[in-house]
Amino acid sequence: MDIQIKKAAPFELSESAITKISSLKESEGDKLFRVYVTGGGCSGFQYGFKFDEFDQDEDAKLDFDKGVQVVLDHMSYPYILGSKIDYVENLMGSKFTVENPNASSTCGCGASFSI
């Protein structure tokens, strides 16, 4: 008997985020959607999202619904663990947002945080 164990992703993607990534992927070819955290921003760290190559030595490849795959580097992992990533469209524009339970504070626009 062959049992496959599906590992839990370190963060959650909302249905709207999955749909948006899936639609953006059509124009990106073999690149994968990368979620990352860098130093900077008005609160200390900031979130980043881009299409990028997979680096087998540095990255984890995460599988979500609708065949969406996301790349996460090992340095960003502890900063985004337990978060929920959403895609919102409203009068202010459209963007990916992160609800991070580990953040002790965030900036007004929600693009940066501190732990």
Using CA atoms, how far apart are residues 35 and 59, in angstroms rounded to an integer?
Answer: 11
Write down the pTM of the prediction: 0.80
DSSP percent split of the chain into helix, strand, coil, nearest 5: 15, 40, 45
Using CA atoms, how far apart are residues 35 and 46, in angstroms rounded to an integer?
Answer: 11
Render pLDDT for 64-100 as a digit per residue (tens, 0 to 9): 998 899 999 999 998 889 999 999 998 878 889 888 8
Q: Determine, yes or no, domain membership for 3.
A: no
pLDDT of residue 85: 94
Render pLDDT for 9-42 as a digit per residue (tens, 0 to 9): 788 999 999 999 999 998 888 889 999 988 776 6
**Mean pLDDT (whole number) for 45-56:** 88
pLDDT of residue 98: 87
Q: Determine, yes or no, domain membership for 106.
A: no
Listing DSSP states for 57-74 in one string gives TTEEEEE-GGG-EEEEET
Q: Determine, yes or no, domain membership for 115.
A: no
Domain that holds residue 42: 12-101
The CATH number of the domain where 30 resides is what?
A: 2.60.300.12
**Which of 107, 109, 110, 115 lies closest to 42 in space, CA to CA?**
107
